[in-house]
């Protein structure tokens, strides 16, 4: 109800202006009213529950984007009116809140889907059936595939397959063939296992698989098996503190002399501090954001990253994370798509599919009618942890 009143008030000056103007046609009134009407944007985030540590950053990313865009005239010529609901890391809550956004709040675009792949996966068919464009900042590739059933769904995150391809490039360079992938049993970990089973054979890697529960505090059995199998590189895939256990116990077994790689889910200064000197030899396959200032000036992302970092830190008093960048990117993409179709929300999906080589924060986005996931392996770099910060270790 609040929206109705507010938008009505905004329409009053436009109507008054038209009424006092001499000889204005009725059409002008409606176009003026339409321009004054805000663009209704909705988001589902999990700012409580197990996924809250991502949700807070994603919410901050969207808040920043909405305010920045509104200060610069909004999206597609309309101010943004942003509604968000907390899914509490629960799929059912996410589904109900999505229906509320669509039917009750009548949002025209949805950005971010609960910061859990499970929630975004449940939302995708609903938003698609309602023909409301949904730009997901969640990871799973199945959110946007098959494209025929996901015409209104896009995602602003990198695909695990691309990250693994990028890691394979690095291993190629180091002439490493024998690899272990130790992943947690969450959707994030198991998604990577599924992708590795495609990427591994394609790149001629000999991969062994181990897994652990996100709450595990001991991985000695898995790591011992990996050591005995003689893997030259060990890739760990988790967003949970169990990744610290992995580092410490790998060090105890002397595996830190091998190549240890963590995924982009573990790029967190807190985790690195917890791991202490066990993180010394670690590499992380990361988006470029944490090493933005060390990128060569020719990098198309550098300027955008530095600008976001500065604005984010000034407002939220903490450094921007890659998660904040993912939701910020979802908003950037929606604005760019609307620009391509002259602000017509009903054509936003066509606009998204026209986006080519567009530098966001997480990477350079290219979408097409066949591919609704915009990033590529070029957006991944390898970083290490030295002197209390992340540093660029392998650029391309």
Partner 1 sequence: MASIEAKTGPMTHSRLPQRGLSRHARLALVWLALAAVPFVVPNAYWISLANLALINLVLIASLNLLMGYGGQISLAHAGFFGLGAYASGILNVRYGVPPWAGLPAAAVVAGLGALLIGIPALRLRGHYLAMATLGWNAILVVFFTQLVGFTGGPNGLLGVEPFSIFGHALDTEAKAFPLAWAVAFFVMLAISNLLASRIGRSIRAVATNELGAQSLGIDSFRTKLAVFVLSAGMAGIAGSLYVHINQYASPETFGIAPSIMLLVMVAIGGAGTFYGPMLGALIYTAVPQILLDYEDAELMLFGLGLLVVLILFPRGLAGIPAALTGLVRRRRA
| Under rule CB under 8 A, residue 128 binds partner 1 | no
Q: What's the rounded Cα separation, in Å, for the pair 351 and 347? A: 6
Token digits of residue 113: 């889907």
| Under rule CB under 8 A, residue 90 binds partner 1 | yes
| Under rule CB under 8 A, residue 91 binds partner 1 | yes
Residue 321 DSSP code:
P
Residue 126, Cβ density class (10 Å: 0-12 exposed, 13-18 middle, ≥19 buried): middle
CB of 194 to partner 1, least distance (A): 9
| Under rule CB under 8 A, residue 28 binds partner 1 | no
Scanning the chain, the segments in alpha helix (DSSP H) are 2-20, 26-36, 52-71, 91-99, 117-129, 160-173, 187-202, 220-229, 242-252, 269-275, 302-316, 322-340, 348-354
CB of 105 to partner 1, least distance (A): 9
Span near partner 1 by CB under 8 A; candidates 24-32, 113-121, 233-241, 243-251? 113-121
Q: Which of 187, 225, 274, 281 binds partner 1 (CB under 8 A)?
A: 187
Residue number with CB closer to partner 1 (186 or 321): 186
Q: Checking DSSP bridges between strand 282-287 and strand 380-386, what pairing results, if any?
A: antiparallel
Of how many residues is the chain composed? 396
Q: Which of 18, 48, 280, 281 binds partner 1 (CB under 8 A)?
A: 48
Span near partner 1 by CB under 8 A; candidates 21-29, 64-72, 96-104, 245-253? 96-104
Binding mask 200-239 for partner 1 (x = CB under 8 A): ----------------------------------------
Residue number with CB closer to partner 1 (83 or 349): 83
CB proximity list for 34: less than 8 A, separation 6 or greater: none
Q: What's the rounded Cα separation, in Å, for the pair 116 and 14? A: 42
Residues that bind partner 1 (CB under 8 A): 47-48, 85-86, 88-93, 95-97, 99-100, 102-104, 117-118, 121-122, 125, 129, 140, 142, 185-187, 190-191
């Amino acid at each position: 109800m609040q929206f109705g009143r507010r938008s009505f008030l905004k329409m009053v000056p436009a109507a008054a202006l038209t009424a006092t103007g001499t000889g204005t046609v009725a059409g002008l009134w409606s176009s003026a009213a339409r321009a004054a009407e805000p663009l209704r944007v909705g988001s589902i985030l999990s700012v409580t529950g197990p996924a809250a540590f991502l949700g807070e950053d994603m919410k901050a990313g969207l808040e920043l984007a909405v305010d920045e865009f509104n200060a610069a005239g909004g999206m597609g010529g309309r101010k943004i009116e942003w509604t968000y609901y907390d899914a509490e890391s629960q799929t059912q809550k996410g589904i109900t809140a999505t229906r509320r956004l669509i039917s009750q709040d009548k949002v025209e675009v949805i950005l971010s889907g609960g910061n859990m792949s499970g929630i975004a996966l449940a939302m995708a068919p609903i938003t698609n059936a309602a023909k409301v464009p949904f730009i997901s900042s969640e990871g799973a590739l199945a959110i946007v595939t098959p494209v025929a059933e996901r015409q209104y769904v896009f995602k602003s995150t990198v695909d695990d397959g691309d990250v693994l391809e990028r890691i394979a490039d690095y291993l190629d360079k180091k002439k490493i063939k024998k690899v272990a992938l130790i992943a947690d049993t969450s959707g994030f970990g198991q998604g990577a296992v599924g992708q590795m089973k495609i990427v591994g054979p394609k790149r001629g890697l000999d991969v062994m698989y181990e897994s652990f529960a996100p709450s595990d505090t001991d991985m000695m059995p898995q790591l011992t098996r990996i050591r005995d199998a003689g893997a030259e590189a060990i890739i760990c895939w988790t967003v949970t503190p169990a990744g610290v256990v992995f580092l410490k116990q790998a060090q105890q077994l002397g595996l830190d002399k091998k190549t240890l790689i963590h995924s982009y889910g573990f790029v967190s200064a807190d985790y690195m501090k917890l791991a202490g000197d066990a993180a010394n030899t670690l590499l992380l396959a990361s988006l470029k954001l944490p090493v933005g200032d060390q990128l060569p000036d020719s990098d198309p992302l550098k300027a955008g990253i530095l600008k976001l970092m500065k604005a984010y830190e000034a407002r939220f008093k903490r450094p921007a994370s890659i998660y904040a960048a993912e939701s910020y990117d979802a908003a950037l993409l929606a604005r760019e798509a609307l620009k391509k179709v002259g602000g017509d929300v009903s054509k936003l999906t066509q606009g998204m599919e026209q986006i080519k080589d567009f530098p966001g924060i997480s990477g350079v986005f290219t979408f097409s009618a066949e591919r609704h996931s915009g990033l590529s392996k070029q957006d991944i770099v390898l970083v290490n942890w030295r002197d209390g910060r992340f540093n660029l270790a392998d650029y391309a």
